[in-house]
Structure 1
């Protein structure tokens, strides 16, 4: 009985906190994914930009600091076209675009 209660409490905590991690943990990734969806990428250079990852620090053309916050997005010579998105303002530590 006690094991069932502990399992129920853990499941409840996961259900409560999981949406919060989805909303807050990948804010920078979501912002960059919004950019990706507004760009025409004929050479598919942004294919590694997967919004389901915890953060975008593993994506090509993205550099992060020690806190896993985006500091650089280098898209030069990528033959991209399109428009920038306001969500880029969520990249609080961005130094280079």
Structure 2
């Protein structure tokens, strides 16, 4: 009897925690992708200073908008005096709808991973 209760509790924890685990993994992956972009850009005005890779969720960062599932849907970096190149890791932002980069000095090719 004890074994069945223990197994039931374990199964319940897996079912309840699974959606949270998936959100954390997705958020970490997206945070890592955005941090790769930050590491590849010169940011003289510290516009990206809130992009802290130790935070679980990039949805708390300035210039990042997420949907209800805590997935990045928008990155607004227009007119931020950034320079450098885009990174292929941006392709990991599967729900990204807007990437605003106007009035910066970003050079190089648009990574094919962005699906363009």
- TM-score when normalising by structure 2: 0.63
> Per-residue deviation at 1:38?
0.2
The residue number in structure 2 matching 1:15 is none
Which blocks of at least 5 consecutive residues in structure 1 are unaligned?
A: 1-19
Residue correspondences, number: 77
Q: Taking CA–CA contacts closer than 8 Å with sequence separation of 6 or more, which of the two structures ends up with the larger relative contact order?
A: 1
Counterpart selection for 1:49 from 48, 51, 59: 51
CA RMSD of aligned residues (A): 1.8
Name the one with the larger strand percent.
2
The residue number in structure 1 matching 2:81 is 79
Which blocks of at least 5 consecutive residues in structure 2 are unaligned?
A: 1-20, 100-116
> Per-residue deviation at 1:55?
1.2
- The list of structure 1 runs, each at least 4 consecutive aligned residues, that deviate by more than 3 angstroms after superposition, is none
- Partners of 1:75 and 1:37 lie apart in 2 by 15
